[in-house]
Amino acid sequence: MSDVREPWEAELESLDPTLHDAPPALGSTRSHAILEAAMHDTTTPTTTPARPADRRQLRRHRRGTWAAVLVGAAAAGAVAVAVLPGTGPGPTPAVVAVPAAPQQLSDIVLTAAQRTAGVTSLRAALTATGEGYRDEATGEFAGADSVVRETVPGGGTLTTTVVGGTIYTTGADGRTTAEPERPADTMAPFAEAAGALVGAAVDGGRAQEVGTEVVRGASAVHYRVTLDDASRSALAALGASRLAWFDLEEPQLATAVDVWVGDGLVRRIDVAASGTTTRTEFFDLGADVTVTAPALD
């Protein structure tokens, strides 16, 4: 993680060739020659099919939707609920409306986080929203095995499958490669990471109830956890193997974690950080999920 610098990082930075080699100064002969060469082409401008990165850039113009959703949610009525002690993952609706004090709110979220961390099989929808772009993926998780299918902007699917300690990567071209998963590479189990994330956030942060909403067809109570330095430190302590599931490479940039709790389990997590919000929705918790290795080329 960026907050724990390895010795080699400074050494690598010191090897940057541009520390000793500067670009041509604007207005210099070299700089002018580069610009002249570029603009020498007098052909009509072309609009080629956008590459993935281009499309993401273009989507920056359509920002604002995400903020509107959150503002709308915040304006919803405050209906406090408490979750009765659950019996584990699965369809166990047991929600009763009762008044809740701020500390109880944190306890509710924390309890849901702990229960969710114990789920060993589930499916999830993962969305990352940045400055005008939106990326989507789906995941299936069964113990240490997982498969994440990511829609690549511009077309195709990138699939990462982990089965029995082997990582299979299937590109948009359909080709699959495999490599052994080493301990240092291993991502934390998804549900455990989700529970740990919420637990760390709510442990140091301040939970506030936003309202009752519908998540994937089911009622869930929306809590917003405002982060402070203590909770950011708690998040950082989780390590990259957990935080990377939620685009939290730099937890010090996180501003808020929104959690939706339904039936005593976490149903959705939004993580807002500088420039990016990720939304993770959990479903089929406790369902029979089987992840199979793809065929190798």
Partner 1 sequence: MQDEDFSALYAGTSGDVWRFARRRTASSAEADDVTAETYAVAWRRRADVPPEAPRLWLFGVARNVLANHRRELSRRRGLQVRVATLHPTPDVCDAPTGEPAGSAVWPALAALGAEDRDLLLMRAWDGLPVADIAVVLGVRAATVSSRLHRARGRLARELARRDPDAAGHVRDGHHDLRSSW
Residue list 147-166, contact with partner 1 (CB under 8 A): 150, 152-154, 158, 160
According to the binding rule CB under 8 A, does residue 66 interact with partner 1? no
Query: Looking at 105, 122, 163, 187, which residue binds partner 1 (CB under 8 A)?
Result: 187
User: What is the rounded CA–CA span in Å between residue 9 and residue 17?
Assistant: 15
According to the binding rule CB under 8 A, does residue 245 interact with partner 1? yes
According to the binding rule CB under 8 A, does residue 38 interact with partner 1? yes
Query: Looking at 117, 196, 248, 291, which residue binds partner 1 (CB under 8 A)?
Result: 248
According to the binding rule CB under 8 A, does residue 26 interact with partner 1? yes
Distances (CA, A) of 15 to 10, 12, 18, 249: 9, 5, 9, 24
Query: Looking at 37, 71, 96, 101, which residue binds partner 1 (CB under 8 A)?
Result: 37
According to the binding rule CB under 8 A, does residue 246 interact with partner 1? yes
3-state helix, strand and coil shares in percent for the chain, rounded to the nearest 5: 30, 30, 35
Residues in contact with partner 1, counted by CB under 8 A, come to a total of 74
| 256, 272 Cβ separation under 8 angstroms | yes
Cα 155 to the center of its chain, rounded Å: 21
Q: Could you give phi then psi for residue 259, rounded to 5 degrees?
A: -130, 135
According to the binding rule CB under 8 A, does residue 272 interact with partner 1? no
CB within 8 A of 183, min separation 6: which ones? none
Query: Looking at 92, 120, 176, 241, which residue binds partner 1 (CB under 8 A)?
Result: 241
Query: Looking at 142, 276, 289, 291, which residue binds partner 1 (CB under 8 A)?
Result: 276
